[in-house]
């Protein structure tokens, strides 16, 4: 097929228009409502000894904390800085770069490891990336789970490592860490918490006795069940 010069110009023009407002148009391809929250049965398959109730990825406890922790640090993609117009602090904002069931068309997925997070910042783990991929394949829904974990499991390798990596890793996962709090592996976490137990517990419990900026993670309190797991890990002498 031959293009006349006019067709060529129109084609180029539409390309320019399409790429220049990519952030805005991407959601025309998503048909799901951003206001709907799907409350789902929690997945228990990932806890040792747990029976697999559902393998649905929970947006609120698994996906949002990863995007907040690794992309929304101050100066990057939080509401205040919104670098390049990108914000990753809520479902609606994240959906500006995600296409449900279309992994390769989801810019906020494909950019991971291809420029973002910047080389100098903590990188998402392969487990984080796999969760995001699976969540998109499952329809990128605003799934909200409440009772998401088994509080009888509280070893570092069985629960704590994942909780801290998902919720804190982007800011405190590499040394020295935000505010010089480094909790990136077993030894560093045990050392920090041993020396700063009440500061740590007040921070994750969103204690009203401390300044709001010191409540962690900054995006919102973790679900109770995860806080209980961390407390049990501490009270039982940091089991590996």
Q: Are 138 and 131 in contact (CB under 8 A)?
A: no
The verdict on 203 binding ligand HEC (CB under 6 A) reads yes
Could you give the C-alpha distances from 192 to 64, 105, 164, 177, 196, in angstroms and in order?
25, 41, 13, 12, 6
Residue 132 token pair: 């995001």
The verdict on 173 binding ligand HEC (CB under 6 A) reads no
From residue 10 to residue 29, what is the string marking binding to ligand HEC with x (rule CB under 6 A)?
--------------------
Q: Are 72 and 87 in contact (CB under 8 A)?
A: yes
Q: Which is nearer to ligand HEC, 141 or 216 (CB)?
A: 216
Tell me, by CB under 6 A, how many residues bind ligand HEC: 21
Q: Are 150 and 139 in contact (CB under 8 A)?
A: no
Cα separation of 175 and 10, whole Å? 52
Show the CA angle centred on residue 113, arms to residues 162 and 76, nearest 5°: 80
The verdict on 199 binding ligand HEC (CB under 6 A) reads yes
Q: Per CB under 6 A, which region of 13-21, 134-142, 150-158, 166-174 contacts ligand HEC?
A: 166-174
Q: Per CB under 6 A, which region of 52-60, 96-104, 145-153, 165-173 contacts ligand HEC?
A: 165-173
The verdict on 71 binding ligand HEC (CB under 6 A) reads no
Q: Which residues bind ligand HEC (CB under 6 A)?
A: 68-69, 72-73, 167-168, 170-172, 178-179, 181, 199-200, 203-204, 213-214, 216-218
């Amino acid at each position: 097929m031959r293009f006349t010069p006019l067709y060529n110009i129109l084609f180029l023009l539409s390309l320019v228009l399409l790429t220049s407002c990519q952030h805005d148009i991407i959601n025309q391809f998503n048909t799901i409502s951003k206001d709907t929250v799907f409350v789902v049965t929690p997945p228990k398959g990932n806890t040792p000894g747990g029976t697999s109730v559902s393998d649905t990825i929970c947006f609120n406890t698994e996906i949002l904390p990863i995007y907040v922790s690794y992309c929304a640090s101050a100066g990057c993609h939080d509401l205040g800085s919104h670098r390049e117009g990108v914000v990753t602090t809520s479902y609606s904002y994240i959906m500006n770069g995600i296409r449900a069931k279309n992994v390769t068309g989801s810019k906020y997925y494909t950019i991971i490891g291809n420029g973002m997070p910047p080389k100098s910042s903590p990188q998402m783990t392969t487990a984080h990336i796999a969760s995001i991929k699976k969540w998109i394949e499952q329809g990128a829904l605003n799934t909200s789970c409440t009772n998401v974990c088994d509080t009888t499991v509280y070893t570092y390798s069985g629960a704590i490592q994942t909780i801290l990596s998902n919720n804190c890793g982007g800011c405190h996962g590499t040394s020295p860490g935000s505010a010089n709090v480094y909790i990136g592996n077993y030894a560093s976490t045990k050392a920090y918490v041993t020396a700063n137990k009440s500061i740590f517990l007040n921070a994750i419990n969103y204690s009203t006795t401390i300044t709001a900026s010191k409540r962690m993670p900054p995006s919102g309190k973790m679900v109770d069940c995860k806080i209980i797991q961390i407390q049990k890990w501490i009270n039982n002498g940091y089991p590996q």
